[in-house]
Copies of this chain bind each other. A is one copy, B any other.
Amino acid sequence: MLYFIGLGLGDCKDITVKGLEIVRQCSRVYLEAYTSILTVGKEALEEYYGRELLLADRDMVEQQTDEILKGADVSDVAFLVVGDPFGATTHSDLVLRALNAGIQYRVIHNASIMNAVGCCGLQLYNFGETVSIVFWMDTWRPESFYDKIKKNRDMGLHTLCLLPSLSRGRKIYEPTRYMTVAQAAEQLLEILQNRRDRGEELAMTEDTVCVGLARVGAEDQTIRSGTLQELASSDLGGPLHSMIISGHLHPLEVDMLKLFSGPEGLKTLKMTNSSTYVS
């Protein structure tokens, strides 16, 4: 049996009881090591689980599948994934290869950023399509995610923006580059200016209410609500970050967002119909 086990978002103890029991009885345990990171390192996980973890980087998962699947038809192999195994990234390819080799699989779910963002008080069923923001380069500055945000806002829906975390090689616990909420907000501000220059009707403004989230589910989780402009100068600390662009806000959602605004922030502001706060 090949077990896909979600580790949740925080530390060693965010694995489920069921997941931990399976990890401890599997013959080999792989740790998927390229789509996300926990706030604790591999060594801490190994110590707590009482098992050696084999790092499975992108190359191994995509090219050396046979190694992962070896013997899984007669013994149990675990494949650990930060968050949920079918959350922000799916492992459909590995599922299909396993079945093709006559190996059954089972999924042990856990929280992923896709549902845990609900902790900021915005209701998950008021979210539209999730977007992924990418690092801009000198000559490659895609703006397509803004158009998705626009579609969501036109329907009054919130948008979860996943921010990249790029690990290089195998040193995944020392990520060299991840995008902060401030950087994502800066890119969005630039897009707004570009669109304004072109005379487009904007889907949002510098004053649209946004939420920055860092290390959701961890002890030092940080949530900050504010205008897009405010978030562009925020500092939410270490990775991972994600950001929400609000759509239409329900009064209870507003009350929750006020919990996460600074003293000069939303607490003293009022909401308008366009979900923009004005003083």
Q: Which residues of A contact B (CB under 8 A)?
A: 6, 8-18, 20-21, 84-88, 90, 92-93, 95-96, 99, 107, 109-112, 114-116, 118-119, 121, 123-132, 151, 155, 157, 162, 216-217, 252-253, 255-256, 259
Residues from chain B with Cβ under 8 Å of A11 in the complex: 18
Say whether B84 contacts A115, CB under 8 Å.
Answer: yes
A135 vs B84: C-alpha distance in the bound complex, in angstroms? 31
Say whether B86 contacts A118, CB under 8 Å.
Answer: yes
Say whether B84 contacts A111, CB under 8 Å.
Answer: yes
Say whether B114 contacts A111, CB under 8 Å.
Answer: no
For A130, the closest partner residue in chain B by CB is B125
Say whether A14 contacts B16, CB under 8 Å.
Answer: yes
Number of copies: 2
Contact of A17 among B9, B15, B87, B118 (CB under 8 A): B15
A114 vs B130: C-alpha distance in the bound complex, in angstroms? 13
Residues from chain B with Cβ under 8 Å of A216 in the complex: 109
Say whether A118 contacts B99, CB under 8 Å.
Answer: no
Say whether B125 contacts A128, CB under 8 Å.
Answer: no
Say whether A99 contacts B259, CB under 8 Å.
Answer: yes
A51 vs B259: C-alpha distance in the bound complex, in angstroms? 32
Residues from chain B with Cβ under 8 Å of A13 in the complex: 16-18, 21
Q: List 15 A-B contacts (CB under 8 A).
A: A12-B17, A13-B17, A13-B18, A13-B21, A14-B17, A15-B16, A84-B115, A86-B115, A96-B252, A99-B259, A109-B216, A114-B115, A125-B129, A126-B129, A151-B155
Residues from chain B with Cβ under 8 Å of A157 in the complex: 129
Residues from chain B with Cβ under 8 Å of A18 in the complex: 10-11, 13-14
For A131, the closest partner residue in chain B by CB is B125
Contact of A115 among B99, B111, B121, B255 (CB under 8 A): B111
